[in-house]
Amino acid sequence: MLARLCLVLLVFVLAVPANAEHYFVRNQNEYAHALTQIEAGDVIILANGEWRDFELVITGEGRPGAPITVISEEAGKVFLTGQSSLRIGGEHILVTGLVFKDGYSPRGEVISFRRTKQDQARNSRVTEVVVDNFSKPDRYESDYWVGMYGSNNRFDHNHLVGKTNKGVTLAVRLDSEESRENGHLIDHNYFGPRPPLGSNGGETLRIGTSRYSMYNSNTTVENNVFDRTSGEVEIISSKSGENIFRGNLFLRAQGTLTLRHGDGNLVERNVFLGYGENHTGGIRVINRHQTVRGNYLEGLRGKAFSSALAVMNGVPNSPVNRYVEVDGAVIEHNTIVDSRRVAFNVGADEERSAPPLNSVFANNLLSGLEGESFVERYDDTSGIAFSDNRVLIGDVDEALLGFVQAPAEMQRAENGLLYPLDPALAQVGAPRDLEVLSLDSVGVKWYPKPGQEIAFGESGREISVAPGDGSLATALLSAEAGDVLVLEPGDYIVDRTMAIGSTIALRGKLVEGEELPRIMFARPTLFELRQGGNLQLKNLVIDGALTPDSVGNSMIRTTSFPIQSNMRIELDGVTVRDLMVNKSFNVLTLGKSAFANSISIRNSNFSNITGSIVSAAAETEDFGQYNVEYLDILDSNFAGIGGPIANIYRGGRDESTFGPYVKVLRNNLSDVGLAATNGTGGSIHLHGVQVAEIAENNVASSAPLRVVHTVGTPSTTISDNQFAETPDMLLEELNYDGPHRALLSGNVFAEGECE
Ligand code: CA
């Protein structure tokens, strides 16, 4: 508040000529009228309240110390909703105090530092603005939330949370001459959670593009927080020269700060804290004359492209959109602790055959995971001078010299970071005076930063449901996020499709001597998952005997409207039977543009079902998009299933994402996947899955396992399964010459029944 008062005082008192005006406007007409009057030093004040479908445009000639200002009556009380956006042209413009929510931009950007291609903003500032879940409804319709053009603009103390559609959250564009060497400052922003997109285009910040990467951008990115910004492998994609990334904090964020294109960038004094979460990474180095110094990285679990530090191989005479070799990199005085990987020559292959040149790697303090390989190299490292590096824990490739391997005691300092106690190590690793940004110091104070997602049952509220016709659907109408519907034993007839738009659990009550509650559904679909929907089913029987025949029957499906949220679906102790009314009746179907963060099936029984158990194969256009990040099928029984128990598809050659991950463990499959309508030909069909573990299953009289590897370095383990009267596995590689890379061990095929 104080800062805001100072800001207003500055505008009114200090800087403004005596004739400065202020215009208090209540609607879009009044705003448009004020816009025709404004001059340097004037202030337009937007009245508190909702401004629906407001395409706010501001332009004019402010002066140093006398900007043209658009400000809310009170910070955080002016809401731009519906189809709204902000465009800024002219110079010395200041915009502050707005909240974008409950809608999305009808344009390619929510906030644009240009009014038109000709009128780009200069010396202008956007501060204390919130963009909250202002995503286009279609996950794969692209936009930027912020597009920076022009020169010497500042974007600071803003709050950007929950982008779920494709496209960079904040893009600095270099596509006109006046927007190069721009001197923009991006500081003290809160970049809040951005869930995995499931395709390329989920970067939080991008500066430049490959096409203009030979130009310098001279953009400074300083003291921002990137909290769970896990959209894809690049959190930041620097695609231009002479940028500075300094003092930023990366929290639990999957991916890395990537120096993707462009030369002469500086990465210093940043802090990365992964807390041991999957794919949390650090810094990836490509191109010439990059400096990486004084950074602190802890608890990172990424490897390969998402290593704590990845120094890549390049492509000889690289085209602008591929990988320029590392030349003249200086990587020194960094601390990397409790992290999985530091790697050189990352991406080395036939095309990326140029190792780093003229580079220095010195005075780094490194500590990996006990008993694991830690510092790796995949090609020639003679172009890197290694000296005075210390490795405390973890193995180092024995061809790498310049590392002293010995443990050392570490202690947390006042700043919360680990430093060695031994004074002899005082000059190794990150500087002592690093500061870890607090969440209070970024974004705005008047808008809450998001906590964790709502868990099933979190509200603590239980709604008891008695058996009967329609009782369940009626009870569901009164349920709110985190509630549990508790079903008494008996039969439930459901004659409408039940929409799930929040986090809802249905649990059967366990009563001694009574059967589990049974749900009979009389529509083609029992549950339809909508925006915000997460569903848990526990201790229930679901029977499809009353269901009418319809195209695309599915016990659970996603709405045909695009869903922005990443769903969670759990089945535990559930029996599903008699989904037989047509030839491909699925249990769970994820449609196009639907993305589940996790699907878990355990301790459940499925029988007499004509279709698939989990169908997550709607993204067939081979853009690298897919439907589910984590799928677990554990300790369950499948008998008489026409389709595969899991049909997972991620096509194309894009390398921007991490999943899907699939675990199929300790299940019994009998007569699975043999229906003529099963186009996959498998009892389990995994196409383009990045990490798969199929182990300790009993498979009898079923179609073969089918695993197709596409892009990247997929990891598939198939072990200790028993097969009877089931053909040998079908394993294919689409983009890799050589034998299939799946690890096979301990699989037993009953004698004499198969090849
Ligand atoms: Ca990318």
Residue 441 Cα distances to 189, 437, 737, angstroms: 9, 7, 51
- Residue 36 has a pLDDT of 95
Q: What angle do CA 670, 673, 678 make, to 5 degrees?
A: 165
Distance 210 CA to ligand 1 centre (A): 11
Pick from 149-153, 251-255, 383-387, 654-658: least confident:
654-658
Pick from 12-16, 346-350, 380-384: least confident:
12-16
Distance 671 CA to ligand 1 centre (A): 42
CA 599 from centroid of its chain's CA atoms: 17
Distance 204 CA to ligand 1 centre (A): 10
Distance 212 CA to ligand 1 centre (A): 16
Please report, as a single letter, which amino acid is at residue 328.
G
Q: Would you tell me how many other CB atoms lie within 10 Å of the CB of residue 612? A: 27
Distance 284 CA to ligand 1 centre (A): 13
Find the mean pLDDT for residues 260-265.
Answer: 97
CB 683 within 8 A of CB 705: yes
Distance 258 CA to ligand 1 centre (A): 9
pLDDT tens for 571-602 read: 999 999 999 999 999 999 999 888 999 999 99
Distance 540 CA to ligand 1 centre (A): 42
Indicate the class that CATH gives domain 1-193+203-209: mainly beta
Pick from 69-83, 214-228, 252-266, 618-632: least confident:
618-632
Distance 367 CA to ligand 1 centre (A): 28
Q: Is the pLDDT of residue 30 over 50?
A: yes
Distance 199 CA to ligand 1 centre (A): 8
Separation of alpha carbons 593 and 217, rounded Å: 34
Separation of alpha carbons 502 and 86, rounded Å: 31
Find the mean pLDDT for residues 480-509.
Answer: 95
Distance 164 CA to ligand 1 centre (A): 15
- The residue to which tokens 């462009």 are assigned: 262
Of 687, 544, 546, 561, residue with least CA distance to 615: 687
CB 317 within 8 A of CB 351: no
Mean pLDDT (the chain) is: 93
Distance 203 CA to ligand 1 centre (A): 6
Q: Is the pLDDT of residue 151 over 50?
A: yes
pLDDT tens for 31-86 read: 999 999 999 999 999 999 999 999 999 999 999 999 999 999 999 999 999 999 99
Separation of alpha carbons 356 and 343, rounded Å: 12
Q: Is the pLDDT of residue 399 over 90?
A: yes
- The residue to which tokens 């020559």 are assigned: 345
**pLDDT level of residue 1 (50, 70, 90 thresholds):** very low
CB 687 within 8 A of CB 735: no
Separation of alpha carbons 755 and 753, rounded Å: 7
- The residue to which tokens 């409408």 are assigned: 496
pLDDT tens for 665-720 read: 999 999 999 999 999 999 999 999 999 999 999 999 999 999 999 887 899 999 99
- Residue 404 has a pLDDT of 96
**140 compared with 666, residue with greater pLDDT:** 666
- Residue 753 has a pLDDT of 44
Separation of alpha carbons 73 and 87, rounded Å: 20
CATH for 249-436 (2.70.150.10, 2.60.110.10, 2.160.20.10, 3.30.465.10):
2.160.20.10
Give me the sign of the Cα torsion angle 457, 458, 462, 466: negative
Distance 179 CA to ligand 1 centre (A): 22
Distance 232 CA to ligand 1 centre (A): 7
Distance 149 CA to ligand 1 centre (A): 20
- The residue to which tokens 């002219």 are assigned: 90
Distance 197 CA to ligand 1 centre (A): 11
Give backbone dihedrals phi and psi of 158, rounded to 5 degrees, phi first: -105, 165
Distance 644 CA to ligand 1 centre (A): 32
Please report, as a single letter, which amino acid is at residue 192.
G
**Which residues, other chains included, contact 254 with Cβ-Cβ below 8 Å and sequence gap of 6+?**
196, 230, 233, 235, 277, 278, 279, 280, 281, 302, 306, 658
Distance 483 CA to ligand 1 centre (A): 38
Distance 62 CA to ligand 1 centre (A): 37
Distance 167 CA to ligand 1 centre (A): 9
Distance 170 CA to ligand 1 centre (A): 13
Pick from 267-271, 278-282, 621-625, 687-691: least confident:
621-625
Distance 593 CA to ligand 1 centre (A): 19
Distance 236 CA to ligand 1 centre (A): 9
Distance 686 CA to ligand 1 centre (A): 24
Find the mean pLDDT for residues 626-643.
Answer: 96
**pLDDT level of residue 258 (50, 70, 90 thresholds):** very high
Of 606, 618, 750, 626, residue with least CA distance to 683: 606
CB neighbour burial string for 51-84, b if at least 16 within 10 angstroms, e if fewer:
beebebbbbbebeeebbbbbbbeebbbbbbbeeb
Burial of residue 122 (CB within 10 Å: 0-12, 13-18, 19+) is buried
Separation of alpha carbons 106 and 505, rounded Å: 36
Residues above pLDDT 90, as percent of the chain: 86
Asked whether the bond before 548 is cis by omega within 30 degrees of 0, the reply is no
- Residue 6 has a pLDDT of 45
